[in-house]
Structures are given as structure tokens and as C-alpha cells.
Amino acid sequence: MTIHKEGYKTIAWGAIIFGLINIISFYFLSFSMPILSTLIFIVTLGLLIFLISFFRVPKRTLTIREDAIIAPADGKVVVIEEVQADEYFNDRRIQVSIFMSPLNVHVNRNPVSGEVTYSQYHKGKYLVAWHPKSSTENERHSVVYRKNGKEILVKQIAGALAKRIVNYLQAGQKVEQTDEMGFIKFGSRVDLLLPLDAKIHAKIGDTPQGGVTVIATW
């Protein structure tokens, strides 16, 4: 396991705050209220460990398949439905939504190899990620991949806790399946908009692994 580069600064600040709180606690409380001082140490250490674990990048055997659309994120499948596309496409698509809790790995990966034909950031709200309108009203970044004449759209969507979406892709860029596309900090959601003829392998309630689990084939 390694730590993602997006976490270096956040973890550094977390460690500094952890150190300051416990230095103050030790100086003022360790002799008069040792139980409280110990409790503060345990709680702040737990928070620091959680912060570090949030930016973890576990070692995995990633899935490379020409006919497959791979999960772009860890999480839980909360939506599989046919929808009218509201961005880039003007036809109907199959939407697969993956909800990411703060406990999930938050690296986002390319679901397919191909060319990035669209990459657009949108300002927006911070509704909870499972809210039906979060796909269209929340802060988000949308990317369209083209492969063999077919296109899919992936949305990184901010949630109530997620205040920063990072995306590394630009239109015209050639990308490889399972390489990193970005990162969302502190829990959110990723939507895929797939062609209607894609064969969906995921089910509601599934817990895919980003870069590993086959969501659909085409």
C-alpha cells in the first residue's frame, strides 16, 4: 500500500495539528487529568490514522480487457437505470452510479482505454451524494471516452463532505484503461453513462473495486 500524492499536504497538516494538540494536552493535563489526556491522544491518533487511510492506494491486480468497462471507483452501486442524457450526449443512456463513502479508496481510474473527447468541470452544490439531483446540481467533473467509435461519460460528483474534485485528463488525450483519472476528497459518487447496448454486469448493492471490477461489456 502507498499514499496518494493528493494526500501529502493534508496528512502533513493533520500530523502537525495532532502534534500540537497532544503537546498542549501533555503540558496542561497529563498530571492533573491523565485519563483525559490519554483519551485526547487516542481520539486524535484515530483521526490521524483515518486521514492517512483515506489517501491509501492498495496494491491490486488491475483488470485490462478490450471488451470491458471497468469500475472507475470503489464504493456501492446505488443506481442502474435508463436516463435521458443531460450533458454532451442527447440520447438515452444507461446510468450506473457508484456511491463512495469516506472509508472507500478514493482514487478514480479510467474505465476504458481510448481518447478523451470531452473534459469539463462544473461548479455546483454539495448535496449528499445519494440525492437524486446530485448528478446534475452538485459540483462535478465530466469526462467522455471514445473507443472504437463508441463513447461513455464518467462524472466525478462532489458530496456533502467532498469539497474538492481532482481530474487529470484533457480533451484530445490518449489514455489507458485503469490508469488514474483523478481523485475525490472525503466521500462522494461517480456516475457512468453507457450506451443502451452495453451489457451490464453490476447489480444494485454490489461493491465494486476501482480498476478491478467489470461493470459492463460492449
Active site residues: 188
Task: Look up residue 89 and give its amino acid.
Answer: F
Walk across the sheet containing 92-100 and list its strands.
Answer: 76-84, 92-100, 188-194, 150-158, 140-147, 114-122, 174-175
> Within 10 A of 122 (CB to CB), how many other CB atoms are there?
16
User: How far lies 98's CA from each of 69, 160, 171, in Å?
Assistant: 14, 16, 24
Task: Look up residue 149 and give its amino acid.
Answer: G
Q: Which of 155-174 are b and which e, b meaning 16 or more Cβ less than 10 Å from the residue's Cβ? A: bbbbbbebeebbbebeeeee
